[in-house]
Amino acid sequence: MVSLTFFSSASSLSSSPSKIVKSSLDFELKKLGGCTKLVRNVNLEKLKNNYLFPEISRRELEHVKKHPNVQLISLGTGDTTEPIPKQITSDMSNFAHALSTVEGYRGYGLEQGDKVLRKAIADTFYGHLHVKSNEVFVSDGAQSDISRIQLLLGSGVTIAVQDPTFPAYIDSSVIIGQTGNFHEATKKYQNVVYMPCGPQNSFFPDLSKTPRTDVIFFCSPNNPTGYVASKKQLHQLVEFAKTNGSIIIFDSAYAAFIEDGSPRSIYEIPGAREVAIEISSFSKFAGFTGVRLGWTIIPDELLYSNGFPIINDFHRIVTTSFNGASNIAQAGGLACLSPVGLKEIRSVINYYKENRKILMETLASLGLTVYGGINAPYLWVHFKGSKSWDVFAEILEKTHIITVPGSGFGPGGEEYLRISGFGRRDDMVEASRRLRSFFNTRTKHFPFLSSASNTN
Ligand SMILES: Cc1ncc(COP(=O)(O)O)c(C=O)c1O
């Protein structure tokens, strides 16, 4: 087995590879066929943790190898499972077929996205909020736009994130060079402000204790906690950003799951156009995790300190590093936003909501403390006094169910598991059966089983 662990420790940042024991290096060189003279990007060296989902996949593979005959159920990575409604796939397939005709062939499109789709996004999601088509940038998914926005921001800015948080904000921040090193003791990167969001503050940061940063990543409904911010809370956030001259990167990837009237867009808050970018996605909304389509809104009023419009720079970023989303995916996106498409998508979302309800009832009936889940596909389950990777491993070993350890989302996620309602109904029912059987027999050994509650 080839081992290059000596390149990845934080302490090796300041030590040159020549310090590596030579005999060991010779051995590695023979195995790998030699090294180039390229020095590894120091920012990538700083990335301390394996990215959460690949690490879960690795453990999943290991488990399957160990138990080849079990039926593994994933309540884990949050991928969608239900077929895309026919209306949408047939529009994509018609578009794809037309590409083999002279009349229907299309080459490069506009880097910012098809004009008709940009207008449909503006009208469907922001009709009453004065977002203009020219402010909509169609993307190949929110994840890519998180990185493109980091490219826009550069290495010189400071960021704040909810803790726990979707890992891509921090990892992209490390990669672009905005952070210092990772500290093992605190499980935090230097120069990142972690805003604790837990039951102690109704999952909304205490802004009176939050230091100023240039940028605030804010996800609502939040992945992983499943918690949605209220209008009043988002007012506070926008005011906080205005007072500090910060910008908010608002991630609304799960907005379609909101059912209690909480804001689906940051632009529902007056004044947000001057301080916020919004990123969003067709992935969870329409089952496009594999098709790949999303969008970003940059309002005209959003300006740098020198008065230069940020939207102009984002145009430059997408023309330089993107070239536009697939035109087949965009045809699908347009079909999603037709009246029939929207109706069909709604029924798929309701399916996942029913799944989530089944899981929520099961977990609550077992005496576990469950948060989230009302306005999001995710349940955030508290295992007081436990390490989340330990609970993950125990549940995997005994029930063959994949969950997500909360600590993978930041230090504030320790003691929690994220459980997802994305999945087939049969799997939800079977997972509930296994969890009941496991926890009922394990109660004596799990001190964290306390009174049931649900807060959101
Ligand atoms: C909060 C959040 N933002 C962005 C993404 C990425 O979305 P996409 O599939 O559009 O890249 C995810 C995916 O799970 C997510 O949970």
pLDDT tens-digit series, residues 339-391: 999 999 999 999 999 999 999 999 999 999 999 999 999 999 999 999 999 99
Closest atom of ligand 1 to CA, residue 145: 11
For 47-70, the pLDDT digits (tens) are 986 667 888 989 999 999 999 999
| Three-state secondary-structure class, residue 144 | helix
Fold of 86-340: Aspartate Aminotransferase; domain 2 (3.40.640)
Chain CA centroid to CA 392, Å? 20
Within this chain, domains 52-83+346-455 and 86-340 share the same CATH topology: no
**How far apart (Å, rounded) are the C-alpha atoms in residues 317 and 29?**
38
Q: What is the pLDDT of residue 54?
A: 82
Pocket of ligand 1 (CB under 6 A): 78, 141-143, 166, 219, 223, 251, 253, 281, 283, 289, 294
Torsions phi, psi of 402, nearest 5?
Answer: -90, 130
Residues 405-425 have pLDDT tens digits of: 999 999 999 999 999 999 999
**Cα gap 103→438, rounded to integer Å:** 60
Rounded-to-integer distance, Cα 266 and Cα 260, Å: 16
Q: What is the pLDDT of residues 255-296, one digit of tens each?
A: 999 999 999 999 999 999 999 999 999 999 999 999 999 999
pLDDT on residue 440? 86
**Residue 28: strand, helix, or coil:** helix
Q: How far apart are CA 138 and CA 292, in angstroms?
A: 11
Reported confidence tier of residue 1, pLDDT bands at 50, 70, 90: very low
Atom of ligand 1 nearest to the CA of 294: 10
pLDDT for 322 beyond 80: yes
Which is nearest to 279 in space by CA: 257, 310, 248?
248
Enumerate the H helices of 310-424 as residue ranges.
Answer: 310-321, 327-336, 339-365, 388-399
| Contacts with 250 (C-beta within 8 Å, 6 or more apart), sequence order | 218, 219, 220, 265, 266, 272, 276, 277, 278, 279
Q: How far is CA 265 from CA 116, 150, 252, 407, in A?
A: 21, 21, 7, 28
CA angle 421, 427, 430 (to 5 degrees): 115
Q: Domain 52-83+346-455 belongs to what architecture?
A: Alpha-Beta Complex (3.90)
pLDDT value at 6 more than 60: no
Query: How many other CB atoms sit within 10 Å of the CB of residue 90?
Result: 12
Q: Which of 140, 166, 291, 326 to mutate to test the pocket of ligand 1 (most atoms within 8 A of CB)?
A: 166
The region that residue 156 occupies, defined by phi over 0 for left and psi between -120 and 50 for alpha, beta otherwise, is alpha
What is the residue extent of each domain of the chain? 5-40, 52-83+346-455, 86-340
pTM: 0.90
User: What does the pLDDT look like over 135-167, one tens digit per residue?
Assistant: 999 999 999 999 999 999 999 999 999 999 999
- Ranges of beta strands (E only) in 86-220 are 136-139, 159-163, 182-183, 188-189, 192-196, 215-219
Q: Is residue 14 scored above 70 in pLDDT? A: no
Ligand 1 centre distance from Cα of residue 293 (Å): 11
Mean pLDDT of 181-185: 94
End-to-end CA distance of the chain: 47
Output the pLDDT for position 182: 94
Give the distance (Å) from ligand 1 centre to CA of residue 284: 8
Lookup result for tokens 């469907």: 124
Atom of ligand 1 nearest to the CA of 281: 10
Query: Over the stretch 218-256, which tens digit does the pLDDT of each residue have?
Result: 999 999 999 999 999 999 999 999 999 999 999 999 999
More confident residue, 49 or 312: 312
